[in-house]
Amino acid sequence: MEGSGSEAGETSINWVRKYGGIVHYRHLLGEHRILVADPQGLRTILVKEDEKFLRDIQLGIGSRLNIVLLTNDGAEHSYQRKLVNPHFTQMSLNASFDIFLEQAQDLKNSVEDQLKGVTEKLLPIQNMVTDCVKEFICRYAFGEFPKMEDSSQNIVTALMSALSLSPIVSFTQTIPILGWLPTKSNRALAKNIKFANDFVKKLMEDKRAKLMTDQGKEEMKKDLVGRLFLEADSSKPLTEDQVAGLISTIIFAGFQTTSTAITWCLHILSEKPDIQEKIAQEVAEVMVHDGCWTWSNLDKLVYLDAVFKESQRLIPIVSSVLKKAQRGAKINGYDIPEGTVVVAHLGAAMRNPHVWEDPDEFKPERFLNTTMDKYMYQFLPFGTGAHKCLGHQLAKVESRLILALLIQNFIFERPPGYKVRKASQLLITPNPKVELIVKRRN
């Protein structure tokens, strides 16, 4: 059975090493599953014959949270994706670059504040990055946050708590009735889901109220949900219900993903001072030349980009995607019985020794002076095909800005006795949370 390995994802990686890129195994209660980590097989499942491998909702809570884009498939999915895609392109995000830069600078300033009067300090860097990313996405997507009656609750902690209950969610996937028993964790989950849904409702009410005045309409152009609302109001057919679904999706998919990926990158770099130094030099060169931050000079940080890619390859926060085989499904010539759960294992694919040289080594150079075509269906931190991450450009700008500003100004080191494991909570998250010693660079 999968999951008995010491760290999240390691069992699957070891299977692929031992048995090759396609592995048949038994899951809970002996359920047959097929794990796929081979490029050809992944291409079949995620792109070429994706209509024969439909989503298997691993988030048992999906149906209770209206996270539509993360849970639907086929015509409904592609219709919504088409309407939403234009808001997530580089060009569209570039219009909000100042917001992103301001947030990253705030993070840098708060680290600086913590270092006032001391040469180094142990800082809760994961929490600090998470707060920064939360602000990033909130400002870009929602503008103002709605004021909730229950001010003790906060949307991010509510959703994070829902996520932290995911092992139970995974069981309820196999035995759905377990999800409805009046246990303490199910009650907590229900409370958090209700809060998240009420939050979305309140945000929608606030936006609707703004539609009443010309000034309100002008303000709405400044954030994503406002713009979608204006489109729903005009000729473009994204209904209010679909906008509500998108808000939940962005909160769910956008908050913890990027901050966790950035945290893992800092975790890896905290034992590689030479690589931090190289990044700092690259940033300094670009800044001396260009003088200010823009999207296009972020594109010049090719070494930083390679480092972030390599950290995503070694620790992919979304390590697998679950699909259910439809009639006639075949992978690499094998017939897959209808209804079989097929696990597209992005994490194992990125550590497959048949594809990657020195798969366990941290070697950012592998991504330099090469085209990404070389890694098609092998490097998949954001997935691929029709369901490829909607927010990958957003994640890219956030991670580059945050890492560039932090490493340009500070050095990160591990405290004595530092030990962090990879835990699986839908995402691969650090356990315990990452805290690092931070020093000023100059």
- Binding-site positions for heme read 389
Q: Judged by CB under 6 A, which of 70, 111, 420, 428 binds ligand HEM?
A: 70
| 321 beta partners | 344
**Are residues 352 and 21 in contact, defined by beta-carbon separation less than 8 angstroms?**
yes
Q: Among residues 262 and 411, whose Cβ is nearest to ligand HEM?
A: 262
**Euclidean distance between CA atoms 426 and 130, whole angstroms:** 17
Q: Among residues 61 and 390, whose Cβ is nearest to ligand HEM?
A: 390
Site for ligand HEM in 77-96 (CB under 6 A): 81
For residue 358, is it left (φ>0), alpha (ψ between -120 and 50) or beta?
A: left
For ligand HEM (CB under 6 A), the number of binding residues is 22
The CB-of-400 to ligand HEM minimum distance in angstroms stands at: 11
Comparing C-alpha atoms, which of 265, 277, 242 is closest to residue 72?
A: 242
**Euclidean distance between CA atoms 65 and 251, whole angstroms:** 11
**Euclidean distance between CA atoms 280 and 411, whole angstroms:** 9
Q: Is 433 helix (H, G, I), strand (E, B) or coil?
A: coil
How many other C-beta atoms can be found within 10 angstroms of the C-beta atom of residue 121? 14
From residue 242 to residue 271, the character string flagging contacts with ligand HEM as x (rule: CB under 6 A) and all else as - is -------xx--xx--xx--x----------
The CB-of-177 to ligand HEM minimum distance in angstroms stands at: 26
The CB-of-100 to ligand HEM minimum distance in angstroms stands at: 12
Under rule CB under 6 A, residue 382 binds ligand HEM? yes
The CB-of-269 to ligand HEM minimum distance in angstroms stands at: 16
From residue 97 to residue 116, the character string flagging contacts with ligand HEM as x (rule: CB under 6 A) and all else as - is --------------------
Site for ligand HEM in 386-405 (CB under 6 A): 387, 389-391, 394-395
The tokens 């490829």 sit on which residue?
388
Q: Among residues 63 and 183, whose Cβ is nearest to ligand HEM?
A: 63
Comparing C-alpha atoms, which of 40, 13, 63, 76 is closest to residue 387?
A: 76
Site for ligand HEM in 309-328 (CB under 6 A): 317-318, 321
**Euclidean distance between CA atoms 422 and 120, whole angstroms:** 27
The CB-of-151 to ligand HEM minimum distance in angstroms stands at: 26
Q: Among residues 314 and 411, whose Cβ is nearest to ligand HEM?
A: 314
Under rule CB under 6 A, residue 69 binds ligand HEM? yes
Q: Is 413 helix (H, G, I), strand (E, B) or coil?
A: strand
Comparing C-alpha atoms, which of 259, 387, 398 is closest to residue 317?
A: 259
**Euclidean distance between CA atoms 8 and 317, whole angstroms:** 10
Footprint of ligand HEM on this chain (CB under 6 A)? 69-70, 81, 249-250, 253-254, 257-258, 261, 317-318, 321, 381-383, 387, 389-391, 394-395
